[in-house]
Structures are given as C-alpha cells and as structure tokens.
Amino acid sequence: MRWLRRSGRSRAARGGSAACAAALLALAGCGAPGDGAHHHRPRATHSAAPVWNTRPASLAAVGDSITRGFDACGLLSDCPAVSWSTGTDASVDSLAVRLLGAAGARTHSWNAARSGARMADLPAQMAEVAPHRPALVTVLAGANDACRPSVSGMTQVAAFRASFTAALRRLRAASPSSQVYVASVPDLRRLWSQGRANPLGREVWKLGICASMLKDASSTGPAATARRQAVYDRVVAYNGALRDVCGRDPRCRYDGGAVFDYRFSAALLSPWDWFHPGKPGQGKLAEIAYTRVTAARAAP
C-alpha cells in the first residue's frame, strides 16, 4: 500500500495413518458388480487432502508496501529488513526468521512485493518468485485496490477476484507444489480510527494518503461516514474473494480474516504516516502468519 504450534509430526502421522485405514476399509467393502452382499456398503464421502507442511524450507513474498516495510524505518521509504514476511531485523522476528532461522531468512527467502502494487500486479510478482520454487509464498495485497483518490476508483470485486485467480495460476504453472499463505486485507477503517487522533498524522494524510478512507479525517458527518463505509464494505468483499479463490486450491491457506479482525492500536502504526504498520505492527503480522502457517489445520 503506498501509505502508507508448530504441529507435532506424530499428529501428522496419525492423520496419515487414519486416511490409509479408511482407504483399506473402503477397498475391503468392494464386491463384484451385482454382488448383493455389498449392496448396502457405505460409500466414502471424503478424500485425503494434501498434507500441509508446517515447516517450509524456503519462502517468497508478494504484495504491496506493507510487505516492503514502507514507512516503518523512515519517511517515504521501503525497509524490507523489517518486513513481516521476509525481514531479517531481530526486533520484528519475521515469518522467515521464525520458520527458517536468521541465516535461512537471508539465503532462502525472496521479496517481490512492491509499494503501490494492486491485485492486478500480483500475477507478475508470482512469475518473479515462481522460478525459485519456494516452499511457501505469502500474499498480502488489496489495500491499494481500496485506497484510491475516490470511492469510484476502487477496484471492482470481479476484477480483484480474476487477478488473484490469475496470480495463483501463474504460480502453479511453474511451481505446482508451493504452498500459499494469504493474509486478509486490513480493516482500513480501523486504521483511520486509530490514526485520526494524532494531529500530525492528520496533516500527513492531507497529502493524499488513501483519500478514499482518510480524506477529511476529522469529519464524522453523513457523507464522510458513508464514504468510509463504502471502503469498509469493499475490503470485506475483497477478503471474501481471497477466501473463496484460496479455498479452491488445496495448497492454499487463507488466514480466516485474522489480519482484518486484529485490533491494531496506534502504537503498532508507523510514526511517520500513522497508517502503515511500524516495526511493532510488522512483528504482529509475523506472529499472526506464523500461527496460521504452523497450525495443524487451516482457519475456517
């Protein structure tokens, strides 16, 4: 955006054994065509899903300025070292560091996110990271699709969905086994409510940062309220599209709305723009991602 546990192997093994047992029982119940003895045999109703690796050995990131650490270290500049996904700054404890260790984060992670990127830019970013064949790809994008000069300029939900679908296809064409973690788009209205109390923040926002949400930041009149509600509703719709598209890919995990639902406080925001995550906010995003990636089961 231009503003701007670990599960035990034993559990996985038990799950695999249960699946094998179910398959053997199903085979045992099969008889020859027309065999009346098995006319009422139960039918299998579930197929075994691919095993999700909770300890991927490499990681790539796609997305926007949040994943580039924009305004987290200084004014109007990227700071990928503090990226929640691939950063190496110890104070953030990024997802890459948690999964790969400090050395692994430096040598086995790649960050193709770009400040200002929208969902339409994601297919090209996926094409950039796919040749690395990363074990895990993180996705955090969509805020710039809602953060436009006006509400009318927001990306249509159908176009957003189509771009995300194309991005996953681009990845699958070159790296079919890569897992994908999809973070929900943050609640921009929540970020507005936290930053608007800061007089300097309001002055910075007048430069045009996410005008669809932040314009006339102090106003709570009907027009401003309706405008912010429209942005909020569009973000909710974007997250629904992310959930649905990801849900059709057996190697994709949506965060269940965890980032959208998290109540980010002013202390977690950038001290330069009061909108992007600062270092503490980047650390919180890393914590949420790690919890979801290493969970035994995907979030509902």
**Which tens digit of pLDDT belongs to each residue from 44-67?**
344 444 579 999 999 999 999 999
Q: Does some domain include residue 3?
A: no
| pLDDT the model gives residue 39 | 34
Inside any domain, residue 38: yes
Range of the domain at 199: 9-293
Tell me the pLDDT band of 31, cut-offs 50, 70 and 90: very low
- Quick one: which of 255, 250, 38 has its CA closest to 140? 255
CATH number of the domain where residue 169 is located: 3.40.50.1110
- For 40-104, the DSSP string reads TPPPP---PPPPP-SS-S-EEEEESTTTTTTTSSSTT---GGG-TTT---TTT--HHHHHHHHHH
Is 90 exceeded by the pLDDT of residue 20? no
- The count of structural domains within the chain is 1
Would you state the pLDDT for residue 51?
79
Tokens linked to 168: 């996953």
The whole-number average pLDDT for the span 239-259 is 98
Determine the straight-line distance between the first and last CA of the chain, rounded to whole angstroms. Answer: 27
Does some domain include residue 119?
Answer: yes
What stretches of 213-256 adopt beta strand conformation (E)? 252-254
pTM here is 0.83
Average pLDDT taken over every residue of the chain: 87
The answer to whether position 2 is within a domain reads no
- Predicted confidence at residue 201, as pLDDT, reads 84
**Nearest residue to 82 via CA among 59, 66, 58, 98:** 66
**Pairwise CA distance, residues 214 & 201, whole Å:** 10
Six token digits for residue 3: 């503003």
- Tens-digit pLDDT profile for residues 93-105: 999 999 999 999 9
- Residues 3-23, mean pLDDT to the nearest whole number: 38
Q: Is the pLDDT of residue 218 over 80?
A: yes
